[in-house]
Amino acid sequence: MSRTHSTSPEAEGGDTVADVTTGTDTSPAGQSGGRDPYEATSRRTTEGQVYNVSGGDWDEIPTSADNDERIVINMGPQHPSTHGVLRLVLELEGETVTESRAVIGYLHTGIEKNTEYRTWTQGVTFVTRMDYLAPLHNETAYCLGVEKLLGITAPRRADIIRVLLMELNRMSSHLVYLATGGMELGSTTGMVFGFREREEVLHLLEFLTGLRMNHAFIRPGGTAQDLPVGYEKKIRDFLKVMEKRMKDYDNLFTGQPIWRRRLGGVGYLSLDGCLQLGVTGPILRSAGLAWDLRKVQPYCGYEEYEFDVPTLTEGDAFARYLLRVEEIHQSMRIIEQTLPKLAETEGEPVMVADGKIAWPAKLTIGPDGLGNSLEHVRKIMGQSMESLIHHFKLVTEGFDVPAGQVYVPVESPRGELGYHLVSDGGTRPMRVHVREPSFVNLQAFPAMTEGGLIADAIVSVASIDPVMGGVDR
């Protein structure tokens, strides 16, 4: 921890400065000999004398200040309340935050660059790992971009499956927000409830796609396979359970006076501030603007579904909580509407018919996730040498994508998630760049926290709901 304060004229003019903790000489001469390495050292800066306190008695430190003092502290990148490896540098006067900065980069994975060394289809396995709470939104946005470059559209049944999976994913993401937000503010019951409900979502996703997370189920041209037998009953049973359990959150949080007072008025960001910073998602809608890409720029057939875009005008952490809870209800409403559409399209393809784009593999969900069925492997091996060569080249080399560039956004749980894809006409992307909502929304952290209490910084970060895998992609 570093701290600065104004020094006396004598200290500014002399060559020797007294150590704030022990009174020892910290001049070069005083640092020689048998000096304890854990004693405080100092250095002169344009802001005055800076002391690096690594030992000593904290009770003695305030008494050494001649005038007003300033303390700079780090929260993170190991702090349990900073949503992963986010580092917050806070400058304090007492308990009031006078300046705050978010420091990122501790979880850098290079996913954007890695996709440029893989085929267009293989890129799905990378983008699904960026925002671990919204993998299916990343897969969809990426594949929509590839399909736009190819000039193709996925079959209608594939779009319905994509909507189903994305809304399930939205529910699981908001449930983690409720769980972690409650945990950070002392509600261990909220944490248990949130992760309990999230497990219900992940169990269902595992049944539908073969994996709990990092699915790579949505592919350019459609989906990896159709839904398994018995999906309708599983989804309806899930909706019944969630309808009952969502009432617990109103009892535990919404009407709870301590929770309302703790979040109300904290982390305020006006509509003008949201627009200037590029903030989207629940933060923007909590300030009064009903901007939801599913409504204003529909994709995957969202225009066929009836749902509301909830908004509030308070612009604080409590408003963002209320919106996320309501968005869970709206997602359940959309999921209910996908079931009759899936019944209507039963037996229809879930992948484009073009054999130069669609993998010929017939995939099944096995005990270790999604993979080729042994029957199909035997069929390819025994069919013809040409079929085997085509399968091998399509899997290893991929397909060519016409030269050009596109930008395709979707509405992720945190806001506008956009993919800018550039193709030079080859089998690999020339450039993949992601407009990640967590990265953009974090810009609002200083505006939300400066002038408030340090304890409220935790509430503000929780209301932003950042995922550092997406920020540091």
Domain-located, residue 50: no
Domain that holds residue 217: 111-357+399-471
Whether residue 425 has pLDDT greater than 60: yes
- Asked whether the beta carbons of 101 and 87 are under 8 A apart, the reply is no
In three-state form (DSSP H/G/I as H, E/B as E, the rest C), the secondary structure along 207-243 is HHHCCCCCCCCEECCEECCCCCCCHHHHHHHHHHHHH
Count of structural domains within the chain? 2
What was the pLDDT predicted at 363? 60
How distant, in Å, are the alpha carbons of 36, 42, 89, 100 from that of 49?
21, 7, 19, 21
What is the spatial distance between Cα 455 and Cα 449, in angstroms, rounded to a whole number?
10
CATH number at residue 117: 1.10.645.10
Q: In one letter, which amino acid is 82? A: T
Q: Report if residue 88 sits inside a domain.
A: no
Does 260 lie in the same domain as 168?
A: yes
How many CA within 13 A on the CB side of residue 280?
20
Does one domain contain both 406 and 467?
yes
Out of 391, 416, 435, a domain closes at 391
pLDDT of residue 331: 95
Whether residue 23 is contained in a domain is answered as no
Residues 308 and 416 in one domain: yes
Which pLDDT value is given to residue 366? Answer: 57
Q: Are 407 and 383 part of one and the same domain?
A: no
Question: Is residue 84 included in any domain, yes or no?
Answer: no
- CA gap 279, 282 in Å, rounded: 9
Q: Average pLDDT of 413-425? A: 94
Does 187 score more than 90 pLDDT? no
pLDDT digits (tens, 9 = 90+) for 264-287: 889 899 998 899 899 999 999 999
Q: Please check whether residues 116 and 240 belong to one and the same domain.
A: yes
Predicted confidence at residue 184, as pLDDT, reads 84
Reported as a single tens digit per residue, the pLDDT across 67-121 is 457 788 888 777 777 777 888 888 888 888 888 888 888 888 889 999 999 999 9
pLDDT bin (cut points 50, 70, 90) of residue 15 is very low
Helical (H) or strand (E) element with 313: none
Question: Looking at the predicted structure, is the pLDDT value of residue 437 above 70?
Answer: yes
Taking residues 142-163, what's their average pLDDT? Answer: 94
User: Given strand 431-435, what is the order of strands in its sheet?
Assistant: 404-412, 415-423, 431-435
Q: Same structural domain for residues 155 and 280?
A: yes
The answer to whether residue 44 is domain-embedded is no
The label of the residue with tokens 């301590």 reads 258
pLDDT at 77: 78
Quick one: average pLDDT of 18-31? 40
Regarding predicted confidence, which is higher, 27 or 239? 239
Sorting pLDDT into bands at 50, 70 and 90, what band is 38? Answer: very low
pLDDT in tens, 290-348: 999 999 999 999 999 999 999 999 989 999 999 999 999 999 999 999 999 999 999 89
Domain final residue, candidates 341, 367, 391: 391
pLDDT at 141: 95
- Say whether both 372 and 235 belong to one domain: no
Predicted pLDDT of residue 43:
75
Helix (H) or strand (E) holding 248: helix 231-249
Does residue 378 lie in a domain region? yes
Phi–psi pair at 5, nearest 5 degrees? -155, 165
Region 119-142: mean pLDDT is 92
The dihedral over CA atoms of 310, 311, 312, 318, expressed in degrees to the nearest 10, equals 60
Q: Are residues 253 and 348 in the same domain?
A: yes
Whether residues 248 and 298 share a domain: the answer is yes
Of all residues in the chain, the percent with pLDDT exceeding 70 is: 81
C-alpha distances in angstroms, 119 versus 149, 241, 389?
Answer: 14, 40, 17
| Domain annotation covers residue 28 | no
Q: Is 366 in the same domain as 333?
A: no
Specify whether 459 is located in the same domain as 373.
no
The chain-wide mean pLDDT, for the chain, equals: 82
Residue 57 has pLDDT above 60, yes or no: no
Sheet holding 87-93, edge to edge: 41-45, 48-52, 2-5, 69-75, 87-93, 96-103
Is 77 a member of any domain? Answer: no
Q: Amino acid identity of 386?
A: E
Tell me which of 71-85, 103-117, 150-164, 457-471 is least confident.
71-85
351 and 424 in a single domain? The answer is yes
Residue 394: pLDDT over 90: no
Q: In sequence order, which residues have a C-beta less than 8 Å from that of residue 158 and are 6 or more positions away?
A: 221, 222, 223, 349, 350, 351
Residue 33 has pLDDT above 80, yes or no: no
Q: What pLDDT score does 371 carry?
A: 62
Query: Between residues 39 and 37, which one has the greater pLDDT?
Result: 39
In this structure, is the dihedral angle defined by the CA atoms of residues 121, 125, 127 and 133, taken in order, positive or negative?
A: positive
More confident call, 204 vs 1 = 204
Rounded to whole angstroms, the Cα distance separating 51 from 66 reads 14
